[in-house]
A and B are shown apart, each in its own frame.
Chain A
Amino acid sequence: MRALFRRLGLRGRSLVIAAPFAWLIVFFLIPFILVLKISFSTTEVAIPPYAPLVTWADGAIQITLHTGNFDYLFSDWEYVAAYLSSVRNAAVTAFVCLLIGYPMAYCIARSRPEWRSALLMLIVMPFWTSFLIRVYAWIGILKQNGLLNNLLLWLGIIDQPLEIMNTQTAVYIGMIYAYLPFMILPLYSTLEKLDTSLLEAASDLGAKPLRTFWSVTLPLSMPGILAGSLLVFIPAVGEFVIPSLLGGPDTLMIGTVLWNEFFSNRDWPVAATVAVALIVLLVVPLILLQRAQERQEARET
């Protein structure tokens, strides 16, 4: 093997791998380990505001692991509720994104080739525009005397302004809006590769369009559906900006809880514990996503 590397001039190969690897270990992996470490600590009025795990006392190294934070997490109903409602919000977001995004992706994939990249560009463009600004835009639309209420009142559809701003509904709208492109892109890439002759074959064999969709198109687009759903679900579980700008007292998201523990209560160990619990929650979806991507890679080579 070594001879092969030398011959192909691949002594540099290990260097090429090592450089980004080292960066990621230092700035991505180690931070996670630190989060885990601090989650076993207790808060202190100090800089940084947590107690060290390893102490030197009476000639002995003492490692103190406080599991109190985790007990606290599971005993306090607010945390459990926040986790559950985060998962529900993310799941609903992913599902509605799928419902809206699927026909859009399908339409782009079936449009004329010269239009496709332009349409795709239209889907990606908002993603390049500031996320914060796009969420901000919804405040103007959804609030009491906002654009939506004004329009509906003017049309005479309602005679009382709707209460949307600062409710769960507003959070849903904002999250669906922000994450829709993440659903459309993977759906598009699977649907675009779908061989149209399969649809023609199904129809030739007597399947009506709806039947063809259910028994051919949908099963074949499963990889895209899975990838899109995970790409929406995973970041949506930890979303903070949208609930804090559009949500109200009834919105409970784990991202907001973590933020408040950290910035308002300055309780770093509890914040770290919340983060650890969130990572644990996301491990399964993350592994699913990695698997899906590996399969995709294997198919393409």
Chain B
Amino acid sequence: MMKRFMRGAWFLPTALILGLAFLYGPILSVIIYSFNESQLVTVWSGFSTKWYAALLDDGQVLHAAGLSLEVALASATGALVVGTLAGYVLARFKQFHGRTLFSGMVLAPLVMPEIIMGISMLLLFVGMQDAVGWPVGRGIETIIIAHITFTTAFVAVIIQSRLADTDLSVEEAAMDLGARPIQVFFLVTLPLMAPALIAGWLLAFSISLDDLVTTSFVSGPGSTTLPLVIFSKVRLGLNPEINALATVVIALVSIVTFLAAIYQSRRSVQ
């Protein structure tokens, strides 16, 4: 049976390996050249860590990084709350008035061009300032609200698919054994969702940390996040300091993803 498929068997793995090389090659090149001595990013002249030292001296970058972390922590947490509710509603309440509108609004930010999200959020904040006097100008609050709004979608999707996979009768069993709805949620539903909650929070965190376009619209003077700094530097051309910064970010993300993966596989073994 398998033999017949064997003739073309080299094709798929080759395609996969080439595809993965395509995905990882650029990232690797950034990492490798962050250790390049030369100011010219793409010409190798020797190993050096001087760009990392330069990074540590760059007050603007450090300040922006701090701000970005603050924004990402706050918005990932906010998105976790709103997104968990939204995902729960999508998975558990199959019929209510406005469900189509609701699911459309939850999921649209997944694909909506960010530039539209950006301009519409900005106009909202301007309009709100006009109408209710808040927020005054733009700053960290407006960035956080905007980030919560579009990262909610990612959390909701993860929560929804996790809930769709869990046996509804487990919740019924809890209720049958005397747990009130609120107890069912906290004693059964929430613990079962834990891996999805962690994954959702991490995803929201990394998207928020990385966001450029929406942030450009809703940030004000004094609230320059890391992507805004990187973007303005990159527009001026290659910069070995950016390579060093990129390497730090990639390392952080890899470690977190790796830890999350280990946690996940530990759980599934138990």
Cβ of A18 to closest chain B Cβ, rounded Å? 10
> Per DSSP, are chain A's interface residues mostly helix, strand or loop, or mixed?
helix
Most B CB contacts (10 A, CB to CB) among A110, A139, A150 go to: A139
Task: Return the contact of B257 from the options A128, A143, A258 (Cβ within 8 A).
Answer: A128
Measured between beta carbons, the chain A residues less than 8 angstroms from B222 are none
Chain B residues within an 8 Å CB radius of A230 = 111
**A139–B96 touching, CB < 8 Å:** no
What's the tally of chain B residues with a CB closer than 8 Å to chain A?
A: 90
Question: Are B29 and A129 within 8 A (Cβ)?
Answer: no
Give the number of A-B contacts (CB < 8 Å).
Answer: 243
Please tell me which one of the listed residues A132, A181, A262, A289 contacts residue B230 in the complex, with CB atoms under 8 A apart: A132
| Interface class of chain B by DSSP | helix
**Would you call A130 and B227 a contact (CB within 8 A)?**
yes
* Stretch among A55-63, A69-77, A100-108, A218-226 lining the B interface: A100-108
Contact A275 B27 (CB under 8 A): no
CB contacts (< 8 Å) of A147 on chain B: these are 29, 42
Tell me how many residues of A have a C-beta within 8 Å of chain B: 93
User: C-beta contact mask, B56-88 vs A, less than 8 Å → 1, else 0?
Assistant: 000000000000000000000000001101101
**B115 pairs with A255, CB closer than 8 A:** yes
A:14-45 near B, CB below 8 Å: 16-17, 19-21, 23-32, 34-35, 38
**Which residues of chain B in 13-56 are interfacial with respect to chain A, using CB atoms and an 8 Å cutoff?**
13, 15-16, 19-20, 22-27, 29-30, 33, 40-43
A278 CA to B257 CA, complexed, in Å: 35
Q: Which residues of B contact A279 (CB under 8 A)?
A: 116
Q: How far, in whole Å, are A150 and B146 apart by their CA atoms in the complex?
A: 42
21 contacts between A and B (CB under 8 A): A17-B102, A21-B89, A24-B106, A100-B19, A104-B16, A107-B16, A130-B250, A131-B212, A132-B210, A137-B26, A137-B246, A140-B30, A140-B33, A150-B42, A177-B26, A203-B1, A237-B113, A240-B114, A244-B235, A275-B115, A275-B116
Q: Which residues of A contact B (CB under 8 A)?
A: 8-10, 12-13, 16-17, 19-21, 23-32, 34-35, 38, 48, 100-101, 103-104, 106-108, 110, 119, 121-123, 125-126, 128-134, 136-141, 143, 145-147, 150, 177, 180-181, 200, 203, 209, 230-231, 234-235, 237-241, 244-245, 255, 258-259, 262-263, 268, 271-272, 275, 278-279, 282, 286, 289-290, 293-294, 297, 300-301
